[in-house]
Structure 1
Amino acid sequence: PLQQPSFSADATEAALGLVDVATLVELKGLGGFWRALARRVLCTRLCRRDGQPVPTQLGEITDLDVEQLIEAGRPGDAAVAGRMLPRLARLHGYGYVGLQPADAILIGSDLQFMAVVTTLSLRNNSIGDKGVKAIAEALKVNAVLKNCNLLNNRLDVESAMMLAKIGRERGIMLSGMKRDQREVSFFNEGLQPADAILIASDLKFMAVLTTLNLWSNSIGDEGAKAIAEALKVNAVVTTLALGNNNIGDEGAIAIAEALKVTAVLTSLHLAANNIGVDGAKAIAEALKANAVVTILNLDSNRIGDEGAIAIAEALKVDEMLNGLGLGVNNVGVNGAKAIAEALKVNAVLTELWLGGNKIGDEGAIAIADALKSGTADLTFLDLRNINIGVDGSKAIAEALKVNAVVTTLFLGGNNIGDEGAIAIAEALQVTAALTNLELRLSSIGDDGAKAIAEALKVNAVVTSLSLRNNSIGDEGAKAIAEALKVNAVLMNCNLLNNSL
């Protein structure tokens, strides 16, 4: 038999802290001294709760880390613990240990006998549909489990819907969210449609959640439909981010239906979702009936002119939307003209993103006319990379001379050239509103820089100016430098990557 060591119990215990769980369990059978010591070490390792002292009695144990038990080849000990520990409330560590369907079946069987465990995480495993059926059967009869995290388990939509039904009926959270959370982010966590269904089910129990971020996952149209159904009855979520989830037109149409009835959602982000004309039209119709959405981000989709025209029609009657993102959407001249006409009658939109659309000079001229109308209330306008040249630049410049509200204007990535820059410089001499001007990658040389420099000598409002990535040489730079000597308001002037 293993002899009691000659050095102190404290030193022995410290040494056992380096021993694996399987060995510690074996030591418990080698006599009273080793049993007591091994139990203390196991309790420290498996039952400690952050910020709390190590339990000294069975009745004090509320948490159990089952990951180490599984690694030691003793998953059944978790079930035994569930029967023996009267205050056990949480099982930790199932995630990231590669549980398979057979493991989930065993766990499901054990759950039926656990009368005190309230929290269980099985996230990030591979329990699959067979495993989840066993878990589902356990959830039907377990009367105390209220939090069971099953995200990222390769479930199909049917299995997720089955779980969601049980969760709703028995008051069980299935996504790891907490009932009292105000903000939740699942950014870029590899979530699939089934995961979104579980999250949507949990929203019913969250009375204070205001922000839900699902950006950069793969929930698809099925996941979007589940979230949309939840939104119809949810009374607290004000910000929803679903960007980069490939929800497509079907998902967008489902979200649009939710927008018609929600009374609380104010900020909706649907960028990079492969939304086309049909999705855009549905959202446009929803905006006509919705009285609360103030921010809508549809950047990087494919709504085209037809979709932009539909959005424009909604803008003519919408009285709430303040920010609209339509960048990189295959919008052309006709779409830009429609948006411009809407701006002439819309008095609430203050921020508009149109960058990355090929609206050209003709589209820019239409936008400029809207800015001169006196009714457009835009303070932020993004026109980067919209394929405009001198004519479009001159039109925007003329609008700036009379417009009293635009404070931020992005024109970078266009073929403005020296002639366009000179026109913009003339506008800078008279504008009393523009504070932030971006002209990077605009083919501006020394002549354009000199004109802007002269304008800066008299301009008293521009605080930020970007001229990076142009063709400004030493002469242009010297002119800018002279202007900076007398200009008292410009705080940021970016001249990187020029020909200095």
Structure 2
Amino acid sequence: MNWFPSSFKETQDQGAQSQPCPPQTTSWRVGGGSASVHAVLQALNDGNGQVDVWGQGLSDEEIATLLEEVRRRDDVKVLELGRNKVGPKSIIALQGLVASSQSLTSLRLSGCLLGDGGVHRVSHALEEGGCLRELFLDCNRATDESAHALERILLSCSMLTSMNVANNLLTSSGIAHVVKALRESKRSVTALNLRRNSICDKGVHAISQLLKVKGCPLTCLDMAENQVCDKGALFLGKSLSVNESLQELFLHGNHLEIEGVRAMGQYVGNNSTLLRVTLTSAEDTVDVQVGDSFLALAVLTGADESSTSACPRRSRWTISMS
């Protein structure tokens, strides 16, 4: 699962003559400022539009202007607003866009430093986000105070399949609300990114209960760089022994020891869907007995091909390395 937005075609700097998009794409990067926002959007062809202003340093007013233009067009599917000032004016414009758009499927607000107040305002703006399938809220300083807002988003956006809340300040308590919403709403969220928060074994227990639910849609779960210990690994192992959907599990950068890795491996031997697991322990490589074969679980930190070349590769699992 690629959690990072793909790069988009760049326009010329503000003041330069705008060039029309090639026929095969309607994707542009705005150079900055409300004038260029207007010019670029006017140059967009009809069709599968993508607007990317990531890292342009646009103000709240400029983002609001951009969103008003997008609303008038109603042909933009991917809206990348990361690392800009998304404030009250922008969020009011966003609410109008989401309520009227029949095309917007991906909204990316990474690194906008929304804070809890901003996340709450975004959640209200998305109350009619029926078309939205992908939402990026990573790097926004969201704490557990945002948990109810995230719950509201999951309940409102009925078609959401991917949520990214990595690099925030969520703890196990906040994640419990997210899991509760996923279970009660029965949303078809297939990808959930919780990387670099402060989730401990208690939060992992809540997630493992979700994974045990028959028909759980999750295929990609990223819990790397949290505070998961051996007990949490055991919770996950037990849930994966009955789970029939998860394909990718990222756990590297946690506090797992050899015992936790081995315990987890003993439970996942009967899993038929999991294709990739990333783990970190005190050693470079851990061989875990799984039925009649071995599961080689490689450490991401410092691992290379030489450190795993001697490991048996008779398993259906892949070895993940960095």
Shorter-chain TM-score above 0.5:
yes
Query: How far apart in 1 are the matches of 2:122 and 2:89?
Result: 11
Which residue in the other structure is 2:25 paired with? Answer: 210
Which residue in the other structure is 1:492 paired with? Answer: 318
Contact 2:268 2:290 in 1 (8 A): no
Query: How far apart in 1 are the matches of 2:58 and 2:45?
Result: 20
* Runs of 5+ unmatched residues, structure 1: 1-183
Query: How far apart in 1 are the matches of 2:76 and 2:150?
Result: 24
Query: How far apart in 1 are the matches of 2:163 and 2:120?
Result: 15
Query: How far apart in 2 are the matches of 1:338 and 1:447?
Result: 37
Give deviations 1:246-283, integer Å, cap 9, x for gaps: 11212210121123222321112222223345423432
Secondary structure, in 3 states, of the residue corresponding to 2:72?
Answer: coil
Contact 2:26 2:45 in 1 (8 A): no
Query: How far apart in 1 are the matches of 2:256 and 2:185?
Result: 30
> Against the structure 1 CA distance between its residues 185 and 452, is the aligned structure 2 distance closer, same or farther, given a 3 Å change threshold?
same
- Matching residue within 405, 424, 443 for 2:236: 424
Secondary structure, in 3 states, of the residue corresponding to 1:185?
Answer: coil
1:410 aligns with 2:227: no
Which residue in the other structure is 2:198 paired with? Answer: 387
> Against the structure 1 CA distance between its residues 277 and 330, is the aligned structure 2 distance closer, same or farther, given a 3 Å change threshold?
farther
Amino acid in the other structure paired with 2:175 = A
> Against the structure 1 CA distance between its residues 262 and 336, is the aligned structure 2 distance closer, same or farther, given a 3 Å change threshold?
farther
Query: How far apart in 1 are the matches of 2:275 and 2:127?
Result: 33
Contact 2:167 2:195 in 1 (8 A): yes
Secondary structure, in 3 states, of the residue corresponding to 2:178?
Answer: helix
Aligned-pair distance for 1:285? 3.2
Query: How far apart in 1 are the matches of 2:124 and 2:264?
Result: 38
Count of aligned pairs: 297
Which residue in the other structure is 1:378 paired with? Answer: 189
Which residue in the other structure is 2:302 paired with? Answer: none
Q: How does 1:159-170 map to 2 (within 5 A)?
A: none
Which residue in the other structure is 2:52 paired with? Answer: 241
Query: How far apart in 2 are the matches of 1:344 and 1:286?
Result: 19
Give deviations 1:123-160, integer Å, cap 9, x for gaps: xxxxxxxxxxxxxxxxxxxxxxxxxxxxxxxxxxxxxx
Q: How does 1:147-158 map to 2 (within 5 A)?
A: none
Contact 2:110 2:138 in 1 (8 A): yes
Query: How far apart in 1 are the matches of 2:291 and 2:93?
Result: 51
Q: How does 1:1-20 map to 2 (within 5 A)?
A: none
Structure number with greater Rg is 1
Give deviations 1:65-116, integer Å, cap 9, x for gaps: xxxxxxxxxxxxxxxxxxxxxxxxxxxxxxxxxxxxxxxxxxxxxxxxxxxx
Secondary structure, in 3 states, of the residue corresponding to 1:387?
Answer: coil
> Against the structure 1 CA distance between its residues 296 and 358, is the aligned structure 2 distance closer, same or farther, given a 3 Å change threshold?
same
Aligned-pair distance for 1:238? 1.3
> Against the structure 1 CA distance between its residues 490 and 223, is the aligned structure 2 distance closer, same or farther, given a 3 Å change threshold?
farther
Contact 2:266 2:289 in 1 (8 A): no
Q: How does 1:126-141 map to 2 (within 5 A)?
A: none
1:227 aligns with 2:227: no
Query: How far apart in 2 are the matches of 1:306 and 1:211?
Result: 33
Compare the two structures and name the one with the higher helix fraction.
1
Which residue in the other structure is 2:128 paired with? Answer: 317
The alignment yields a C-alpha RMSD, in angstroms, of 2.8
Contact 2:38 2:69 in 1 (8 A): no
Q: Percent identity?
A: 21
- Matching residue within 247, 252, 256 for 1:435: 247
Compare the two structures and name the one with the higher strand fraction.
2
Query: How far apart in 1 are the matches of 2:247 and 2:89?
Result: 38
> Against the structure 1 CA distance between its residues 291 and 247, is the aligned structure 2 distance closer, same or farther, given a 3 Å change threshold?
same
1:477 aligns with 2:286: yes
- Matching residue within 12, 15, 18 for 1:194: 15
Which residue in the other structure is 1:453 paired with? Answer: 265
Query: How far apart in 2 are the matches of 1:360 and 1:271?
Result: 23
Query: How far apart in 2 are the matches of 1:277 and 1:493?
Result: 46
Query: How far apart in 2 are the matches of 1:280 and 1:240?
Result: 17
> Against the structure 1 CA distance between its residues 485 and 277, is the aligned structure 2 distance closer, same or farther, given a 3 Å change threshold?
farther
* Runs of 5+ unmatched residues, structure 2: 1-7, 296-313
TM-score, length of structure 1 as denominator length: 0.54
Aligned-pair distance for 1:337? 2.1
